[in-house]
């Protein structure tokens, strides 16, 4: 999974979406891989305003990257080639290949066939809650659930 | 023609064997590629964008998104969702560029609001019209999907969904659900009335709509009249109203009903339902 995707994924279950814990999802025991892609400055410029900078800093920290600047590059900073290249490397070229993903401190989702860009997203919830259409009033969330496919 | 939707739920129907067949068949690949190109045309993206591929399957359409040349505003970055693990497995083996999620679109779209520039869906959303268990309904699944999709697109974003409705009821159920979720919606049918007819649902989020024709296909074309089928249907409906007892339409309807019941009914002629001349 690309780091950029991790910055956008939340839990789709209704009760979770409103809680601040549902975003960002946290990585554990992540194994990274660098996948070279063509550098597209326009794409980065287009997407950076939508990035949640605080959670990107959290994710980068979890993945062991050197700390990012305090604030999101905006306006003129986005014209700087080096900044864009760094962001490109972090957001698009860094792939999390293996590891665990957890939501807040509630449930842990493991990757299937040890490839994390194939995430069993909120399947745990579907197994827990009898029906997502008519959610139970208090979602029965276990402290840790490991779903292994 | 048999519909896979009527046979099994999607995650079971597309098992390893079906997924491999689907991905290797050159006929399916060609059709998928054509539809993806058409959908991209309708999305009208000018710069590299972040796209959601709903029901991405083995990544046939995603591949095309990654391959769009820089002159045409590409290549795009995409994220795919699908419910069939085998399909995603094939996608992984083919090493597609997008990130893949095993998720049921009928459960919502698991992304932050305003994430995507656009969304694309090729031959997927008709699956939502089937409910696999008694505690969910097709309407509920469609509602959850379109509401989730609406939220996950940025303002001014567009979504193009190609789908195969089983009948008119499904067609209006799907477009109705999209409109209820807040989308501006338009339908585009290529090759209508033929076996190759393809239906595209074009959706816009807040302000993405064009005047007159939401799909934008007639943009820049001269001498094209846009016919609003809804308005015409309304006019016909208002002008005539329901048939009154005793008039020609009413008689014809009754005759048809009786015929269906198996009664002997006189054949229709130009005199059927005519008023008699006043003799005196």
String of DSSP letters for chain B: ---GGGTS-HHHHS-HHHHHHHHH-HHHHHHHHHHHHHHHHHHT--S--EEEEET-TTTHHHHHHHH--GGGT-PPEEEEEES-HHHHHHHHHTT-SSEEEE--GGG---B-TT-EEEEEEES-GGGGG--SSTT--HHHHHHHHHHHHHHHEEEEEEEEEEE--SSHHHHHHHHHHHHHTT-EEEEEEESTTSTT-EEEEEEE-SS---SS-TT-TTTT-SS-PPP-HHHHHHHHHHHH-SPPTTSHHHHHHHHHHHHHHT---PPP-TTTTPPPP---
- B55 falls within a domain: yes
- B235 falls within a domain: no
Which CATH number belongs to the domain containing residue A88 in this structure?
A: 2.20.25.10
| Lowest mean pLDDT segment, chosen from A97-101, A106-110, B82-86 | A106-110
- pLDDT bin (cut points 50, 70, 90) of residue B280 is confident
Residues in chain A: 149
Interface confidence, given as ipTM, is 0.72
pLDDT of residue B257: 92
Instruction: Decide if A133 and B88 are in contact by the 8 Å CB cutoff.
Output: no
Give percent of chain A with pLDDT exceeding 70: 57
Q: Which residues of B touch A131 (CB under 8 A)?
A: 135-136
Instruction: Decide if B79 and A120 are in contact by the 8 Å CB cutoff.
Output: no
- B164 falls within a domain: yes
Which CATH number belongs to the domain containing residue B152 in this structure?
A: 3.40.50.150
Whether residue A77 contacts residue A95, with contact meaning beta carbons closer than 8 Å, is answered with no
| Helix, strand, or coil (residue A127) | helix
pLDDT of residue B22: 83
Tell me which of A21 and B118 has the higher pLDDT. Answer: B118
- Give yes or no for A12 touching B (CB within 8 A): yes
Tens digits of residue pLDDT in B155-201: 888 899 998 888 888 888 898 898 888 888 888 888 877 888 888 88
Whether residue B205 contacts residue B166, with contact meaning beta carbons closer than 8 Å, is answered with no
- pLDDT bin (cut points 50, 70, 90) of residue B53 is very high
Residues B138-158 as b/e (b if ≥16 CB within 10 A, e otherwise) read bebbbbbbbbbbbbbbbeebb
Beta-carbon contacts of B240 under 8 Å, excluding residues fewer than 6 positions away, are: B249
Instruction: Decide if A131 and B104 are in contact by the 8 Å CB cutoff.
Output: no
- pLDDT bin (cut points 50, 70, 90) of residue B256 is very high
Query: Of A5, A12, A119, which has the smallest distance from its Cβ to B109's Cβ?
Result: A12
Which of B19-27's residues contact partners 24+ apart within 8 Å by CB, and which partners? B19/B57, B19/B58, B19/B84, B19/B86, B19/B87, B19/B89, B19/B90, B20/B90, B22/B57, B22/B58, B22/B87, B23/B57, B23/B58, B23/B60, B23/B87, B23/B90, B23/B94
- pLDDT bin (cut points 50, 70, 90) of residue A136 is very low
Structurally, chain B folds into a number of domains equal to 1
pLDDT average, residue stretch A41-48: 84
- B35 falls within a domain: yes
Read off the pTM: 0.74
- Give yes or no for A143 touching B (CB within 8 A): no
pLDDT of residue B226: 61
- B267 falls within a domain: no
| Domain hosting residue A132, numbered range | 3-147
Chain pair A-B, CB pairs under 8 angstroms: 89
pLDDT of residue B263: 92
pLDDT of residue B223: 61
pLDDT of residue B239: 67
Give percent of chain B with pLDDT exceeding 70: 87
The structure tokens listed for A35 are 């996948």
- B242 falls within a domain: no
| Domain hosting residue B9, numbered range | 4-218
pLDDT of residue B58: 86
pLDDT of residue B110: 81
Question: Would the pLDDT of B50 be above 60?
Answer: yes
Tell me which of B256 and B23 has the higher pLDDT. Answer: B256
User: What does DSSP say about strands A146-147 and A107-112: parallel, antiparallel, or unpaired?
Assistant: parallel
Instruction: Decide if B109 and A42 are in contact by the 8 Å CB cutoff.
Output: no
The structure tokens listed for B241 are 């109203």
Q: Provide residues of B within 8 Å CB-CB of chain A.
A: 47-50, 75, 77, 79, 85, 88, 92, 97, 99-104, 107-112, 114-115, 117, 135-137, 140-141, 144, 148, 154
- B159 falls within a domain: yes
Instruction: Decide if B111 and A117 are in contact by the 8 Å CB cutoff.
Output: no
Instruction: Decide if A119 and B109 are in contact by the 8 Å CB cutoff.
Output: no
Question: Would the pLDDT of A69 be above 70?
Answer: yes
- B236 falls within a domain: no
Run of H or E including A46: helix A41-47
Structurally, chain A folds into a number of domains equal to 1
Question: Would the pLDDT of A112 be above 60?
Answer: no
pLDDT of residue A108: 52
A76: distance to nearest CA of chain B, Å? 20
| Residues of A (122-141) whose Cβ lies below 8 Å from B | 122-123, 126, 130-134
């Amino acid at each position: 999974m690309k780091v950029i995707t991790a910055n956008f994924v939340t839990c789709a279950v209704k009760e979770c979406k409103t809680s601040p814990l549902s975003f960002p999802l946290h990585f554990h025991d992540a194994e990274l891989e660098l996948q070279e892609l063509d550098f597209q400055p326009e794409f980065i410029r287009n997407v950076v305003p939508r990035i949640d900078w605080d959670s990107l800093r959290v994710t980068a920290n979890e993945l062991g990257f050197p700390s990012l600047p305090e604030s999101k590059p905006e306006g003129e900073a986005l014209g700087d080639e080096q900044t864009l290249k760094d962001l490109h490397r972090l957001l698009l070229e860094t792939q999390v290949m293996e590891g665990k993903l957890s939501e807040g401190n509630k449930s842990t989702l493991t990757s299937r066939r040890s490839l994390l860009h194939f995430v069993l997203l909120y399947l745990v919830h579907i197994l827990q809650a009898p029906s997502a259409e008519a959610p139970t009033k208090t979602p029965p969330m276990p402290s840790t659930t490991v779903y292994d496919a | 023609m048999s519909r896979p939707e009527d046979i099994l739920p999607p995650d079971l129907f597309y098992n390893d064997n079906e997924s491999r067949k689907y991905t290797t068949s050159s006929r399916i690949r060609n059709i998928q590629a054509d539809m993806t190109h058409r959908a991209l045309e309708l999305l009208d993206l000018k710069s590299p964008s972040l796209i959601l591929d709903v029901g991405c399957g083995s990544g046939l359409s995603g591949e095309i998104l990654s391959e769009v040349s820089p002159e045409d505003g590409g290549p795009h970055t995409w994220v795919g969702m699908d419910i069939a693990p085998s399909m995603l497995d094939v996608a992984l083996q083919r090493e597609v560029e997008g990130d893949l999620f095993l998720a049921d679109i009928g459960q919502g779209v698991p992304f932050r609001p305003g994430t995507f520039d656009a969304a694309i869906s090729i031959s997927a959303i008709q699956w939502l019209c089937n409910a696999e268990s008694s505690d969910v309904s097709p309407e509920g699944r469609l509602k959850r999907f379109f509401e989730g999709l609406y939220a996950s697109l940025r303002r001014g974003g567009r979504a193009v969904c190609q789908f195969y409705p089983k009948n008119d009821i499904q067609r209006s159920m799907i477009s109705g659900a999209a409109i209820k979720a807040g989308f501006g919606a338009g339908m585009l049918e290529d090759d209508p009335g033929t076996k190759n007819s393809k239906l595209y649902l074009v959706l816009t989020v807040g302000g993405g709509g064009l005047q007159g024709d939401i799909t934008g296909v007639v943009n820049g074309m001269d001498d094209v009249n846009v016919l609003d089928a809804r308005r015409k249907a309304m006019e016909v409906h208002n002008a005539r109203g329901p048939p009154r007892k005793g008039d020609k339409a009413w008689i014809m309807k009754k005759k048809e009903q009786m015929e269906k019941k198996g009664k002997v009914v006189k054949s229709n002629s130009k005199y059927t339902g005519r008023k008699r001349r006043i003799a005196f």
